[in-house]
Structure 1
Amino acid sequence: MSETVDTKVATSPDDSNVPDQRAEALKAVLGGRDTSFYKGHYRRLTAIMFLILLSSMTNGFDGSMMNGLQTLDTWKSYFDNPRGATLALFNAIQTIGAASALPFAGYCSDILGRRTGIFVGCVLMCIGVAVQTAAQNMPMFIAARFFVGFGGTFGMLAAPGLATELAFPTHRAVITALYWTTSYLGGIAAAWTTYGTFRIPSTWSWRIPSVMQALPSVIQLVFIFMIPESPRWLVSKGRDEDALRVIGKYHCNGDTTDPLLHFEFSEIKEAIQFEKDCGQASWKSFFQTKGNRHRLAVVIAMGVFCQWSGSAVISYYLTLVLDGIGITSTKEQTLINGIIQIFQYVCGIAASLVVDRVGRPKMFLSSTSGMCVSFIAWTVCSAVYSKSATNLDATGTPIGANTSAGNAVLGFIFVYLFFYGIAFTPLVIAYPLEILPYGLRMKGMTIFQIALTGSALFNAYVNPIALDAIGWKFYICFCVWLAVEFTFCYFFILETKGNNGPLPLEEIVKLFDGTDAAEDFRNQVQTRIAVDTLVRQDDELASEKANAEHVEAV
């Protein structure tokens, strides 16, 4: 993301003798310019990317906040100490709200634009947070969380798509990987806000974290009209001049003669036209080709895996996990929650910066295998502690419990989170986005959200009930499931990076749809570039001829 582009020809990793033609052409167009994200006009685009990524911060805030609220005596007493199914409803209603928005959010982004989708989501989020903060009873709090989930879906669909489609070509992989990572920035804000308010002996101990949840949405609303619309969306709506203006301003520093402008526009134009010609814009397209069925399997898997890998237990029910190993004080639990959020954010950033160096399959396989091993160790240590903590005193505190085993559980939680952050933090959204063609991108992300919210809803109801009923034995399910995830990733995750960065669209098309589709796409792109070049040359000759005639006339 911050390196000077050289002119070395990239090659496809699955065939070192086949040159990455588009990457070679892009490097030639860039001409060795320094594309560091923090230099020159790229700083403005980087700031805009950060505004877009704030949508993910809102989502991360919610899970961490609910973890924190469950440790607060004021919150528990105000809502009559929710446990089991009641506690599940407090978390599940947000997921139900998110699922309810899916039929509308995708169409909003496709029809009205990515920026409009973010705007609508922010407005709904602010309404939900206002009601949540002012909640006077359980039904009011639950209704508010429904709106929080409903509004969040609009942003969760629109923002990553806009970031992918607006980012500078050499920044795109890292920017997209940072989207999910930014959710931990919200988690940090929520966790440490709760840690700072738990001493307040009134309902403001939980109302302050609640109102803070609106902060990312408020920032986005203030600056929403500084965020340009996706040039790909503009082209898809026939607004070519607007698309050229966006690319020229944010990628070429306003230089309309920059060859990069015409290169990017030609690629976008041809890609969208090619997808329309192939009919790749309808829901049934996911089932019509082997490549699209492969994409569909990956998209669904990513939505399920990010919820069923065990992370949701930590995200929403860390209090129950810590109670199970003898860490019961509010101060310790809120402190651990805060440290976990910082740890995950650092791991996510580090992983995001190396996605184009390490490669997708290696990251997913390292992540799933590491999570499986660490979860097994977590489970064993939990069992040892549980068996040693059967004798309780009058206050319910274990007598003679194996504290070393309990501390080991906490250590393995951090080991597990490290491996989770290797792939699932940076790639769980970035990978589906880069393998989905434009015409199927919002539809694919809607399917991703359906899989994610369905899995999250299952977690919200099952996790607290299972943890209460069978304790550490519930962890065995995750150990087995993580082995399933490893197997899936081994067979289904394809490499989408080249030797010098992400593979271009036509190379990804070849990976998923075969060489013929890639060759057809490449020929059309080259034809369009050649035609555009001839048209520009004709315009220049006509202009020179007109100037010469004008001079002669004078």
Structure 2
Amino acid sequence: MEWLATKGNRHRLLIALYILAMLQWSGNALISYYLAIVLHSIGITNHKTQLILNVCLSLWSFLSACAAALLIDKAGRCRLYLTGMVSMGVSYIIWTICSAINQEKDFKQKGYAAAVLLMIFIYTACYHMVAHISPTYIMEVVPYTLRAKASMLYQLSSNLVGIYNAFVNPVAMGALEWKYYIVWCVLIAVHLTFIYFFCPETVGRASEEVAEIFDGPDALSGVNAIRVMRLDTHPENALELSDQEAVEIGKDVIPVQQIEKA
């Protein structure tokens, strides 16, 4: 199997499988699918209020996703990953603490519920810093021959992880309440560690340069051959040569016309 043939491909396979699981197992499913349960857990039980908050959160998600899209090439993939994960972790920890105190005080102090809502909005904005660069990032680390398979694995992982979110989250929320948030705090810390140690930066690098990170210097053997022949540097110099002139490459003397045709 090509995915397991080399150390570099095994590294790529790990990233392709993990990134999607990371996106689905960062606590976002509680907001996307079980927001009503989350709001009920902090004492917001009015259906009209829940609907208004849901609409506001959807609009906020759209705006924050657009803002995050503008940062992809400027900030870099890994920097967005790390910044987003750290911010998500901090907001989730505060969210967990405020939910615990709010429940302990029998939902009598509305300030804790407001703090949870604020953390949900902050978390959502930070999540979009991470989520929307992932398909692009996976395609950048995978070579052309494996990109179709990587896309398939990406979708397969999404469906498998979705089974957990669909069947476990509502049961766990009902049984553990705010304590279930601790699971996501721990997982976000794990994701942050994975990104730091296993995900190289790809912005500003050509496909061959990214391949060198995974496969070592041999990945650039073809490119290096071109560099030895000096065909990739200072191409303007070749235009200054006349048709009668020739350049020496190794032991051979090749007319300029042949180099241009090549």
TM over 0.5: yes
What amino acid is aligned across from residue 214 of structure 2 in structure 1? F
Q: CA deviation at 1:485?
A: 0.6
**445, 451, 457: which one aligns with 2:157:** 451
**Of the candidates 503, 508, 525, which is equivalent to residue 210 of structure 2?**
508
Matches within 5 A, 1:177-326: 284-326=1-43
Measure, in 2, the Cα distance between the counterparts of 1:477 and 1:483: 10
The question of whether the paired residues in 2 share the 8 Å contact of 1:506 and 1:522 is answered with no
Q: Comparing both chains, which one has the higher relative contact order based on Cα–Cα distances under 8 Å and sequence gaps of 6 or more?
A: 2
| SS, match of residue 497 in structure 1 | coil
In the other structure, the counterpart of 2:197 is 491
Describe the superposition over 1:147-184 as per-residue Cα deviations: whole angstroms up to 9, x where unpaired: xxxxxxxxxxxxxxxxxxxxxxxxxxxxxxxxxxxxxx
What residue number does 2:119 align with?
A: 412
Report matched runs for 1:324-335 at 5 Å: 324-335=41-52
| CA distance in structure 2 between the aligned counterparts of 1:534 and 1:300, rounded to whole angstroms | 47
Task: Check conservation: 1:322, 1:333, Cα contact below 8 A.
Answer: yes
Q: Which amino acid aligns with 1:470?
A: L
Deviation of 1:445 (Å): 1.6
**Residue 476 in structure 1 maps to residue 182 in structure 2:** yes
- Change in Cα spacing, 1:455 to 1:473, as seen in structure 2 (3 Å) is same
Aligned residue number for residue 99 of structure 2: 382
Q: How far apart, CA to CA, are the structure 1 residues paired with 2:37 and 2:108?
A: 17
Change (3 A) 1:292 1:326: same
Deviation, structure 1 residue 288: 1.1
Residue 74 (structure 2) aligns with:
357
User: Partner of 2:249 in structure 1?
Assistant: none
Task: Return closer, same or farther for 1:435/1:527 CA change in 2, 3 Å cut-off.
Answer: farther
CA distance in 1, matches of 2:217, 2:70: 30
1:438 equivalenced with 2:140 (yes/no): no
In the TM superposition, residue 341 of structure 1 has moved relative to its aligned partner by: 1.8
Q: Which runs of 5+ in 1 are unaligned?
A: 1-283, 390-399, 539-554
Quote the Cα distance in structure 2 between the aligned partners of 1:523 and 1:383: 63
Deviation at 1:328, TM superposition (A): 2.1
Cα displacement (A) at 1:537: 5.1
Q: Compared with structure 1, are the counterparts of its residues 381 and 303 closer, same or farther at alpha carbon in structure 2 (3 Å cutoff)?
A: same
SS in 2 for 1:373: helix
TM-score by length of 2: 0.83
Match of 1:422 in 2: 129
Letter in 2 for 1:438: Y
Report the CA distance between 1:519 and its aligned residue: 2.8
Q: What's the secondary structure of 1:328's corresponding residue?
A: coil
Instruction: Give the letter aligned to residue 73 of structure 2.
Output: D
Q: Which SS does the other structure have where 2:168 is aligned? A: helix
Contact 1:384 1:402 in 2 (8 A): no
Q: SS of the residue aligned with 2:133?
A: helix
Corresponding residue for residue 403 of structure 1: 110
Shift of 1:507: 1.1
Amino acid at match of 2:89: C
Equivalent of 1:366 in 64, 68, 83: 83
1:360–1:493: 8 Å Cα contact kept in structure 2? no
Question: Alpha carbon RMSD of aligned pairs, Å?
Answer: 2.4
When normalised by structure 1's length, the TM-score is 0.41
Name the CA distance, whole Å, in 2 between partners of 1:349 and 1:511: 30
**Aligned partner of 2:110: which letter?**
T
1:356–1:328 CA distance, 2 compared to 1 (3 A): same
What is the alpha-carbon distance in structure 2 between the residues aligned to residue 447 and residue 522 of structure 1? 32
1:339 aligned to which of 27, 47, 56: 56
Query: One-letter code of the match for 1:411?
Result: L
**Alpha-carbon separation, structure 2, partners of 1:331 and 1:433:** 42
Equivalent pairs counted in the alignment come to 238
- In 2, the alpha carbon distance for the partners of 1:314 and 1:432 equals 25
Please state how far the C-alpha of 1:516 moved relative to its aligned partner: 1.6
Indicate if the aligned counterparts of 1:382 and 1:405 stay in contact, CA closer than 8 A. Answer: yes
What residue is the counterpart of 1:270 in the other structure?
A: none
Secondary structure in 2 matching 1:372: helix
